[in-house]
Amino acid sequence: MTSHPGSCHCGAVAFRIDFEITELTTCDCSLCVKKNALMTKVPESALTILKGEDALTLYQWNTRRAKHYFCKHCGIYVFHRKRSQPDHFGVNIFCLDGFDASKIPVRATDGKDMSVTDPSPRAQWPGPRESQ
């Protein structure tokens, strides 16, 4: 099994994923486009927070199923619990120390067409609107 250490920019949050990375993903939802992350999907058992769990801040929107974690000190997005698979995390591969992504295939995922259920959705949130 391959182990990949990682951290936020300031080092307050450190983590490790124990998983063989075979695919990277992009997402075109309104949040992922703005944070411009390149992610890999790992099961929750493969992600270990080594330090700084108290330095993580949570951002949720729309259905509130996905949980996006950022360092509250430097603002870096480190990982998120996935809306489509809540037992998996999307990990920002740019936070992995010394990881070479150049030979890993990248798959684009469709986030902009996921349903929007927020009672007051912003116009910038694309996707089908559920009746209100």
Splitting the chain (132 residues) into consecutive groups of 10 residues, what average pLDDT does each group show? 95 98 92 90 97 97 88 97 89 97 92 75 74 56
Domain annotation covers residue 72 = yes
Give the model's pLDDT for residue 5: 98
Per the structure, how many domains does the chain have? 1
Domain annotation covers residue 131 = no
State the CATH number of the domain containing residue 57: 2.170.150.70
Domain annotation covers residue 79 = yes
DSSP string, the chain: --EEEEE-SSSS-EEEEES----EEEE-SHHHHHHT--EEEEEGGGEEEEE-GGGEEEE--TTS-SEEEEETTT--EEEEE-SS-TTEEEEEGGGBTT---TTS-EEEE--TTS-B--SS--TT--SPBPP-
Give the model's pLDDT for residue 59: 95
Which residues constitute the domain of residue 61? 3-109
Please give the model's pTM, rounded to 2 decimal places: 0.86
Give the model's pLDDT for residue 112: 74
Give the model's pLDDT for residue 56: 98
